[in-house]
Amino acid sequence: MIRTLTIPAPGQGLHEFTDEVRAVVAASGAREGLCTVFVRHTSASLIIQENADPSARRDLEAWLNRLVPENDPMYTHDSEGPDDMPAHVKAALTAVSLSIPIVDGKLALGTWQGIYLWEHRRSPHRRQVVVHVTA
């Protein structure tokens, strides 16, 4: 089963969509298998991260912004603004796809794990995420 989800991202940061992926897995009827999640963009990425304490997400966002700052004079690709090239670098350093086992009809995520779209651009976007369930 393949479904394309549209994930709203009001701006830069981590946006959880675990429940949407769980719904696709449930609709597939798969008891065991693999769920692959893939983002169809070059300035956003995917991550599995703690979903209990928001400070973990804030710290990750701050760390990546320090690692890949805007307005670096070495960037030449800036046609869409100062967050353009940094967004591409951040996506290259993180992941555009995730693989999650399905066990007993459910995602085999840990207790505190959630699936996040990591939006690297400042302006709002609606990102396309493809979810592929194989049994």
CATH of the domain at 83: 2.60.120.460
Q: What's the structural domain count of the chain? A: 1
pLDDT tens digits, 81-96: 999 999 999 999 999 9
The pLDDT of residue 28 is 98
Tell me how far apart the alpha carbons of residues 60 and 67 are, in angstroms, rounded to a whole number.
Answer: 11
Whole-model pTM: value is 0.95
**Is residue 127 very low, low, confident or very high in pLDDT (cuts 50, 70, 90)?**
very high
Q: Residue 120 is part of which domain span?
A: 2-134
CB burial of 28-48 (b: ≥16 within 10 Å; e: otherwise) equals bebeebebebbbebebbbbeb
Parallel/antiparallel/unpaired status of strands 2-9 and 125-134? antiparallel
